[in-house]
Amino acid sequence: MARAEDIDDLGDDQDALSWAGDDEQGRAAPRLRQPEPVTAAAEVEPEEAAGSRGRSVATAVFLVPYLAVTVGWIFAVQQLSSGSASLFGEILWQFGEFLAMLAAPLWFAATLTLTKGHRPLVRVGWLALGFGALVPWPLVLQFLAALELAGGMS
């Protein structure tokens, strides 16, 4: 059984905040930085980073085509049919159509978020790649077939 003299006095909490020998080695306990006082100059918005105007232009240039891709997928989804005889196949087909409609806005938002600190050319490259991959190909191919058919009639 523990005796009363074996129990240390827990009243001094300062010993718990430092290691033995800190003062001897010349290393005091790490200190937190003092918060810098807020001045009127700190409240002024910082200047635009280099290339931010280019990123803004690239965003504006690609916004309209990405909206057109989204609307194109909405039209393409209405013209396609699954041809599936099972309920499970039909549900998966409709889920795929839903994801096709959301893919362009999600790619646009992800590109804007992930290329925030990069050069404008990086953002343009990712936006162009996404645009090429997300074009509603069923609608484009149907349009090209209609043009070919119309050209053959003349």
Q: How would you write the pLDDT of the chain (154 residues) with one tens digit per residue?
A: 566 665 555 556 666 776 666 666 655 555 667 777 766 655 545 555 556 776 788 788 899 999 999 999 999 988 877 777 889 989 999 999 999 999 999 999 999 999 888 888 888 999 999 999 999 988 889 889 988 887 766 5
Report angle CA 126, 58, 47 to the nearest 5 degrees: 115
pLDDT value of position 74: 92
120, 54 contact by CB (below 8 A): yes
Q: What percent of the chain has pLDDT over 90?
A: 32
- Cα 10 to Cα 127: distance, rounded to the nearest angstrom: 63
pLDDT for the residue 125: 93
| Burial status of residue 79 (CB atoms within 10 A of its CB: 0-12, 13-18, 19 or more) | exposed
